[in-house]
Structure 1
Amino acid sequence: MKPEYVFRWVDKHGVIRLGKKAQLRRGDLFARLNGGPEGIENPYPLIEELRGDGGLRRIRPLWITMDHALCREILRDNRFGVGMPTVLRMPEFVRRALDRRPIPANPVDPPSMLMLDQPEHTRMRKPVAAAFTPRAIARLRDRVTTVTDELLAALPDDGPADLVGEFAAQVPIAIISEMLGFPDRDREMFLRWGDAISPLLDIGISWSTHERAMRSSEAVQDYLLAHIDRLRIEPGEDVLSSLVTKGELSTHELCASATLLMGAGFETTVNLIGKGIVLLLEHPDQLARLRAEPDLWPGAVEEILRFDPPVQTTARIAQTDVDIDGRQLRRGASVVLSLAGANRDPKMFPDPARFDITRDNAKEHLGFSSGIHACLGASLARMEAAYALRALFEQFPGLRLSGPPRRRQLYTLHGYESLPVRTGSRALSRQPIA
């Protein structure tokens, strides 16, 4: 048990966890959303209760908003910086001591670009952004097609399957592994590591969950250090090789960038595909419309992202005293931005609880955030999901749930852990998807 891990857990999770338990006993809405089973199974009734009349609300010791315009404004406002909400102010000497103890690269600690403000954020993001240009995404389309078709061919004809483990998770992990130059044999290992590390993005996680995440972060970093050493000797055509050979990032920064790409390139897409499967099976009229008009698939992906986003919430920290929405926030104030709530703001999306693949402004959702921290791989996730979902439902027109889908026990990265189905008979033929 490393002391720096204990202090970090107490600082970022332990005190909040104790507070959430007390608030849950009192029936507090925010605690129920971020600490109770309702927040995992169906957060939207709680979100609507918390929304109230809209705007910015005080939920001590935090602020929270479900307002689309306000979330978008704060995400784009340089008076707010990134960070995880904390309620415990450790003595400065303790923080300095912790800063001197090395922490394995992970998504929630600098130099992860997810947790950097300008100008460091731009320095870290710019070298990676080249992998996600429209031209780069177009080059990946053939690989997405091949991987998806191979996975569909491996599914049973009119048999049982788990469409998370056997399909939704396998598409993005194959693509991001190839982008980072990882061998195919290591995919399942990455899935296990990702499952352990992703709870770090929640608030108030247990000590055992935190320790498991940090141990897995150590394993990932050890793997990456060896992989980067190999790439320095024999670089490939992948993104990580390019970053290594350019020499713009330190070794620790390379590990941080690769770790974030592994997480962001996988977590969002697996949850997007899984949610898309469930939503379309629950709305057969919308699925029938897609079968009749396949040009609607890109819009359907946007509506899935709006209706039930894979990333439910994010946070910002006031970098100075801020007047916003008629409120005065002191420097250091934490603001929780409910992306899921913003995506159902009736001022932005009429009849927001209706799932409609033809919604004309669905793309205004905040499912990929906004501002300088907007998801770097958004275009790739959209492309992967649109092809995977369309190909799945065309290959298996009789696909149906065979049991209740099981949610992951996470609040921020919201999705399914398993999705049991009966595939139905395989289509005898399928038109190539352009």
Structure 2
Amino acid sequence: MIYQALDTTSSDGPVPRTGRGHCPGTNGARAPLGTLDLFGEEFVRDPHPWLDRLRSESPVHYDPATRLWLVSRYDDVRRVLLDPMVFHPDNALHAVTPLPVSALRILARAGFSLPAALANNGSASHPGLRRVVTRFFNAERVAAAVPVITRITEDLLDAAVSEIDATGRCDLFGAFAQVLPCRVLMELLGIGGVDPATLIRWSDASLELFWGRPGPDRQAELAENVGEFYQWLTSKVCGGGALSGSFVGELARHRLPSGKLLDVATAVAACFFVFIAGQSTTGQLIATVLRSALADTGLWEQMPREEGLAEAWVEEVLRREPPVTTWRRVAACPTELGGVCLPEGAQLLLMLMGTGSDTNVFPDPDRMRPPQPNIRHHLAFGVGRHRCPGASLVRTEAAVALRSAADRLSGVRLETGTALQPPMLGLLSFRAPLNVTVIR
């Protein structure tokens, strides 16, 4: 099945108070919030004022523009994530903007089909598939991968230093933050036959097509890239040359609870999700970590000298400015959440970013200065059975990148004019600066 547009026909309005699905409580979901636009420049540039208002005024808020129920309080979001029987993950990867016929035809020609595999899988096959993934990203493997991460980091920083020496400037987003997780993932998962720039292009196109608000012409252009990505993944799964013990090889040999081998479409779907999460979102985190640290000259200079500071700063960024800002769930039955009655089929948007500033959990949330009490309680990686299996690798990559960059690029500063207003990636579930240009 091709990614479908959000189907919210049954989620517009409160559930009836009588009969099946009765739930007590008030319906405060329609408190006015002005001109909230989840894709608008004002929200993308600084979502925190809006998120603060949602939590205080309308913590379970129906947004007519997207037809999504925005859930913003920490306890409510955590409850949803921990209750997969009531709140299903089925809609986690549905396209935000309906795909036009032109884009659908392009995807169909590529054979594009993403059945339930990981993030969108609430079936009995999920635990086994998740175990395949977690074996490649557990603490032991991540610790063993630190030399690989460090080597690639130093290689990319060598090039950045050379560019700064030659031109006086370097954009660390394109030259470093984006490329590092892609190259690390390729080595750890045994991915070959493609260059990092191509994988990055495919991954970014997938994010924009399914989580963005592109126009029809742009959707067709993105669909071409996504189709190429899908066909390449399919060739890897079906090629028969995947090494035993490699990620693709393990997926190809995985057996479902029924005893049958995992079908090709589901194996490709798992690869699709892991490759995107392992590249794009990690690169987005590294970009945010670098830019936020560079904005504080004292912190940047202190970073290589103080043990544990890089790790602590990464955790603060994950709490306050995570790259994955929202995630979706669908109500399997009429239910009550945060005092609001939700109908069966209600499409929920969990405001992960906003939960990191909930004062009931974090006493001084606006102040980004480690150590923050309860810091490991943030929901940047989710919680429960769908918690990000690559969390340990993401944390490690970002900390190594930050500490090494601050050490090798001592004395650099953000380029004047871009420090306050960098271009931002503003998709429904992903946000990050697209420019980290430094000068000496």
The alignment of Structure 1 onto Structure 2 pairs a total of residues equal to: 393
Change (3 A) 1:38 1:112: farther
> Aligned partner of 2:399: which letter?
A
For 2:218 and 2:385, how far apart are their aligned partners in 1?
30
Change (3 A) 1:72 1:387: same
Query: Is 1:300 equivalent to 2:313 in the alignment?
Result: yes
Kindly provide the CA deviation profile for residues 315-368 of structure 1, in whole angstroms up to 9, marking residues without a partner as x. 111011212322221210112111111111111112211111221322211111
CA apart distance, 1:145: 0.9
Q: In structure 1, what is the equivalent of residue 215 of structure 2?
A: 206
Contact 1:281 1:287 in 2 (8 A): yes
Q: In structure 2, what is the equivalent of residue 235 of structure 1?
A: 243
Q: In structure 2, what is the equivalent of residue 23 of structure 1?
A: none
**Range that drifts further, 265-274 or 210-219:** 210-219
For 1:370-389, what aligned pairs fall within 5 Å after superposition? 370-389=383-402
Contact 1:177 1:184 in 2 (8 A): no
Q: In structure 2, what is the equivalent of residue 82 of structure 1?
A: 89
* SS of 2:186 mapped into structure 1: helix
Structure 2 counterpart of 1:69, from 75, 87, 90:
75
**Range that drifts further, 28-37 or 155-164:** 28-37
Q: In structure 2, what is the equivalent of residue 134 of structure 1?
A: 139
For 2:318 and 2:138, how far apart are their aligned partners in 1?
21
Change (3 A) 1:30 1:105: farther
Q: In structure 2, what is the equivalent of residue 420 of structure 1?
A: 437
Structure 2 counterpart of 1:250, from 260, 263, 276:
263
For 1:390 and 1:87, how far apart are their aligned partners in 2?
37
For 1:83 and 1:199, how far apart are their aligned partners in 2?
20
> Aligned partner of 1:38: which letter?
E
> Aligned partner of 2:338: which letter?
D
Q: In structure 2, what is the equivalent of residue 47 of structure 1?
A: 51
Same amino acid, percent of matched pairs: 26
* SS of 2:303 mapped into structure 1: helix
Q: In structure 1, what is the equivalent of residue 369 of structure 2?
A: 356
For 1:250 and 1:187, how far apart are their aligned partners in 2?
27
Change (3 A) 1:391 1:210: same
Change (3 A) 1:55 1:40: closer
Q: In structure 1, what is the equivalent of residue 225 of structure 2?
A: 216
* SS of 1:34 mapped into structure 2: coil
Contact 1:176 1:261 in 2 (8 A): no
For 2:311 and 2:292, how far apart are their aligned partners in 1?
15
For 1:233 and 1:202, how far apart are their aligned partners in 2?
33
* SS of 2:361 mapped into structure 1: coil
Change (3 A) 1:190 1:315: same
Contact 1:162 1:420 in 2 (8 A): yes
Contact 2:295 2:414 in 1 (8 A): no
CA apart distance, 1:32: 3.5
* SS of 1:336 mapped into structure 2: strand
Q: In structure 2, what is the equivalent of residue 95 of structure 1?
A: none
* SS of 2:308 mapped into structure 1: helix
Change (3 A) 1:31 1:382: farther
Contact 1:39 1:411 in 2 (8 A): no
For 1:401 and 1:29, how far apart are their aligned partners in 2?
35
For 2:431 and 2:209, how far apart are their aligned partners in 1?
13
Gaps of 5+ in 1: 16-27, 91-97, 425-434
Q: In structure 2, what is the equivalent of residue 120 of structure 1?
A: 125
The two structures, once aligned, show a CA RMSD in angstroms of 3.0
**Range that drifts further, 163-172 or 368-377:** 368-377
CA apart distance, 1:154: 1.3
Query: Is 1:310 equivalent to 2:326 in the alignment?
Result: no
Change (3 A) 1:120 1:242: closer
For 1:262-411, what aligned pairs fall within 5 Å after superposition? 262-402=275-415, 403-404=417-418, 405-411=422-428
Contact 2:333 2:343 in 1 (8 A): yes
Gaps of 5+ in 2: 10-31, 99-104, 256-260
For 2:243 and 2:288, how far apart are their aligned partners in 1?
37
> Aligned partner of 1:178: which letter?
E
Q: In structure 2, what is the equivalent of residue 225 of structure 1?
A: 234
Structure with the largest fraction of helix:
1
For 2:349 and 2:39, how far apart are their aligned partners in 1?
14
* SS of 1:148 mapped into structure 2: helix
Kindly provide the CA deviation profile for residues 130-159 of structure 1, in whole angstroms up to 9, marking residues without a partner as x. 111211212211110110011111112543
For 1:399 and 1:204, how far apart are their aligned partners in 2?
36
Change (3 A) 1:118 1:140: same
**Range that drifts further, 325-334 or 144-153:** 325-334
Contact 2:95 2:209 in 1 (8 A): no
Structure 2 counterpart of 1:146, from 115, 127, 151:
151
Q: State the TM-score, normalized to the length of structure 1.
A: 0.82
Structure 1 counterpart of 2:41, from 37, 48, 54:
37
For 2:328 and 2:365, how far apart are their aligned partners in 1?
23
